[in-house]
Structure 1
Amino acid sequence: MSAPDPTPTPTVIAVVTTLPDRAAAQDLARALVSQGLAACAQISEIESVYRWDGALQQEREFRLLLKTRAALYPRLEVAIRAAHPYELPAIHAQALGPVYGPYARWVEEQTLAAGDDAA
């Protein structure tokens, strides 16, 4: 049995938002990954039920799940808000852990160009 890897595992988070169509989700995913704010993005079609302006809504949306470092959340949120078509976008993060060390380090490598939480 090999010894555990002593390299600290970066804190990886999943940031989720929803968008009105696949093209908007793809555009935002490409922009955030190309800027190094997210290591990768996954897009899935969902159906959402919610109350808006006092009326019950039910519509198709696209969930965008982004994997990044916790330190980048503030900058990622700003970038999502700036590009998002919704008046009130859902933007939330969840810590992922434990995370397979080599994968966590890959996420870190892919987002290092974006720097840390200092804008």
Structure 2
Amino acid sequence: MFTYRDIKMILDQMKPEHLDQPAQVFMSQPDGDKPVPLCPVIGFHTIEYFVAGSETGEECQKTRSSEDNEHHPEHYVFLADENPFAEDGAIAYDLMTGEAIYGKNKKKEVENNEFHDTFPE
């Protein structure tokens, strides 16, 4: 089983420029003919923190661990956005602000931008 200690060892060996990259999750896909969407990590905390918990007094939604099939609200997990793309598969957005980030680091190409009519720059 891969542990947070394993992750820490890898992080400790990474170059500074790699540590500034967005954290993403690579989910295996059954269709090898399509590009695999990388899901952004949008949080890291306990299960209890993400699904309800001590702050609200509500009962915590049950989860099922891949380790033993049990609910462990005290375990730490990465929260990933499983579908950060629009229906056309191209538009990513910031979950905290709602701001579209498609094209954020892309050169403005109005002539060849197939989404210009839908998403004007």
Q: For the superposition of Structure 1 and Structure 2, which TM-score range results when normalised by the shorter chain?
A: under 0.3
As a proportion of its length, which structure holds more strand? 1
Which structure ranks higher in relative contact order (CA pairs < 8 Å, sequence separation ≥ 6)? 1
As a proportion of its length, which structure holds more helix? 1
User: Please, what TM-score do these two structures have when normalized by structure 2?
Assistant: 0.27
